[in-house]
Amino acid sequence: MGKLFLSFIWHNHQPYYKDPYTGKFALPWVRLHATKDYLDMLLLKQKYPKIKATFNMVPSLIRQLQEYGEGNTDYYLDVTLKEAESLSEDEKAFILQNFFKADFTKKISKFPRYAELYAKRFSHELGENVSSWAINEFRDLQVLFNLSWIDPLYYEEYPELRYIAQKERDFTHEDVHTVIDIQMRIMKRLVDDYKQANINGEVDLIFSPYYHPILPLLYDTRSARDAKPDVALPNLVFHSPGDAKRQLEKGWAQHVAFFGKPPTGFWPSEESVSTDVLDIAAQTGVSWAVTDERILAKSLGMEYFKRGYKDVPEQAQVLYSPYKLPLNDGREITLVFRDQVLSDLIGFEYAKWSADAAVSDFMSRLETIYRKIEPLQGDYLVTVALDGENCWEYYDNDGYDFLSALYNALSNVDWVTTETVGNFISVHDNDLGKLEKMKTGSWIYANFDMWIGDPLKNKAWDYLTAVKHAADLVLRKGTNTDEIAEQVEEQLLIAEGSDWFWWYGKPNESVDKPVFDELFRNNLKKVYSLLDEPIPEFLNEPIS
């Protein structure tokens, strides 16, 4: 009889927000997600010892957590910590523009005073007028914006947070410092807690390329046509297998340094894969990688997996099997393919449901999969892989109710067992299938449209390519020190991150688009500053 195993892979990722000129983080999302998602995901899992899970900690995220611990700040934090009476007019305007960046239903409305201030900001005809706001209102925003981004799970451990939340309004500057101090304490213990859980075998930690680039496009932007033949490419060709290798080796080295042992698994940024980059990854020492089911379908000559009752694939035994992919020089790598439907239900749909209804639906679908494979021989692995941070903003109680109920349900059935991907592969290594070839693509429609093809995305690629070529020409002259050469290389690696291209053009929208645009161009400008070369005028003009 077939046995069913389930593996969760939670992906934790933030781009590198540091402005190379100011040394500050331009956006606060590493700090805020650290207190809302990263540690509590681990703490919640630890309450259910039967549940096995894999976490992907992107190196650029971990580096920023370290830098916060070393005293680095972001502008949001600087404005938070300043006494409200001393705020400048510009700082007050910044607070009014940015300190309502939280979901109204799930965060702001939970705090009556925050909802009151929200109504004043967006309903009142003078909501944008700094002079119509009192000092105590700015101080309350300093507290409530940061407090709303701290998971309620921490109220048990830090009763000061519960006291401040119950106080509701008219906070003191001491209250501001209390909230921020707890934020910093959570961030400082985060890496150590994950490290200990990794060493103890409670979780399996896997890594990504350092600055989260789309590796196939770094290897060669023309690989986008392997995934979608009619995609419009940039004018210039970016082709740097060496940079793809550096991103991987740098990510691997940091993972070992921070988490105590080498990773066996690999989350390609945006689950973007090609045989070329998987070969480089295998050279670093990883034995397996995760990508999307549509990559497997296309590799097997199908457009997608046809699904029947409860969206279960008609070829369930095909999707729920890891495969070995042959690489160069006798190397091979094992691939697991995530169940897109189950993953996206958690990522995008279940937040709209009650926790009980969502868990019931998930378990019903999972049991239907089990009934499908039960008559077969062998063991099968369902992989649920998704973002471990952003989706919880839209769940009740930051996802705690849903995940608790789901973990509890999985802990009390005997027809499915949760397992880490690494353990499943190690046990079944001799029984895995072979994949003779693999299609290039990502988790989104098995192509790279989110990062290349749009005119603005392509312009960004042309800027990156032009700056890299210019830097290479200067460095070949040999007039710069090795230290400068290393700093230039680092700036280019930062500019290769996927998030810059994600936000350019369509379809993605964010109020922070101008910040991403400026950061991308500043990273490229810094290359010229380091080389003591004039900055080209085109880098002074916003791309979007």
Dihedral sign for Cα atoms in the order 313, 318, 324, 328: negative
Grouping H, G, I as helix, E, B as strand and the rest as coil, residue 12 is strand
Helix axes 513-530, 482-495, angle to 10 degrees: 160
**pLDDT tens profile 288-347:** 999 999 999 999 999 999 999 999 999 999 999 999 999 998 999 999 999 999 999 999
What local confidence, expressed as pLDDT, does residue 76 receive? 98
**pLDDT tens profile 493-503:** 999 999 999 99
Grouping H, G, I as helix, E, B as strand and the rest as coil, residue 420 is coil
pLDDT above 80 (res 244):
yes
What local confidence, expressed as pLDDT, does residue 544 receive? 83
How much is the pTM?
A: 0.96
Q: Phi/psi of residue 276, each to 5°?
A: -60, -45
Q: Phi/psi of residue 384, each to 5°?
A: -110, 110
pLDDT above 90 (res 126):
no
pLDDT above 80 (res 438):
yes
What average pLDDT score do residues 481-508 get? Answer: 96
| pLDDT above 70: percentage of residues in the chain | 100
CA–centroid distance for 8 within its chain: 15
What local confidence, expressed as pLDDT, does residue 440 receive? 98
What local confidence, expressed as pLDDT, does residue 148 receive? 96
Are 63 and 251 in contact by the 8 Å Cβ rule? The answer is no
What average pLDDT score do residues 469-476 get? Answer: 96
Strands, E, within 288-352: which ranges? 288-292, 323-326, 332-338
pLDDT above 90 (res 260):
no
State the Cα–Cα distance between residues 466 and 495, nearest whole angstrom.
12
Are 65 and 187 in contact by the 8 Å Cβ rule? The answer is yes
Burial class (CB in 10 A: 0-12, 13-18, 19+), 481: exposed
**pLDDT tens profile 34-88:** 999 999 999 999 999 999 999 999 999 999 999 999 999 999 999 999 999 999 9
Q: Phi/psi of residue 360, each to 5°?
A: -60, -40
Q: How many angstroms separate the most distant Cα atoms in the chain? A: 72
Q: Phi/psi of residue 309, each to 5°?
A: -55, 135
| Burial 443-461, CB ≥16 within 10 A → b, else e | beebbbbbbbbbeebbbbb
Grouping H, G, I as helix, E, B as strand and the rest as coil, residue 285 is coil
What average pLDDT score do residues 176-191 get? Answer: 96
**pLDDT tens profile 273-291:** 999 999 999 999 999 999 9
- Identify the band that residue 124 occupies on the pLDDT scale cut at 50, 70 and 90: confident
**pLDDT tens profile 137-151:** 999 999 999 999 999
Q: Phi/psi of residue 111, each to 5°?
A: -120, 105
Q: Which pairs count as long-range contacts for 308-311, CB under 8 Å and 24+ apart, including other chains? A: 309/368, 310/364, 310/365, 310/368, 310/369, 311/341, 311/365
- Going along the chain from its start, the domains and CATH numbers come out as 3-65+195-434 (3.20.110.20), 67-189 (no CATH), 455-540 (1.20.1430)
What local confidence, expressed as pLDDT, does residue 342 receive? 98
Place of tokens 């999707």: 319
Given the DSSP bridges, would you call strands 204-206 and 265-266 parallel, antiparallel or unpaired? Answer: unpaired
**pLDDT tens profile 331-390:** 999 999 999 999 999 999 999 999 999 999 999 999 999 999 999 999 999 999 999 998
Q: Which residue in 125, 209, 110 sits closest to 499, CA to CA?
A: 209
What average pLDDT score do residues 462-486 get? Answer: 95
3-state secondary structure 52-75: CEEEEECHHHHHHHHHHHCCCCEH
Interacting residues of 67 by C-beta distance below 8 A, sequence separation 6+: 18, 25
DSSP classification of residue 304: S
- Identify the band that residue 446 occupies on the pLDDT scale cut at 50, 70 and 90: very high
pLDDT above 90 (res 185):
yes
Is pLDDT larger for residue 1 or for residue 110? 110
pLDDT above 80 (res 1):
no
Q: Which residues pair with 325 in a beta bridge?
A: 333
State the Cα–Cα distance between residues 153 and 150, nearest whole angstrom.
8
What local confidence, expressed as pLDDT, does residue 265 receive? 96
State the Cα–Cα distance between residues 544 and 459, nearest whole angstrom.
10
What local confidence, expressed as pLDDT, does residue 42 receive? 95
Place of tokens 């930690």: 205
Place of tokens 């070969």: 279
Amino acid at 234: P
State the Cα–Cα distance between residues 253 and 247, nearest whole angstrom.
10
Average pLDDT in the chain:
96
- Identify the band that residue 127 occupies on the pLDDT scale cut at 50, 70 and 90: confident
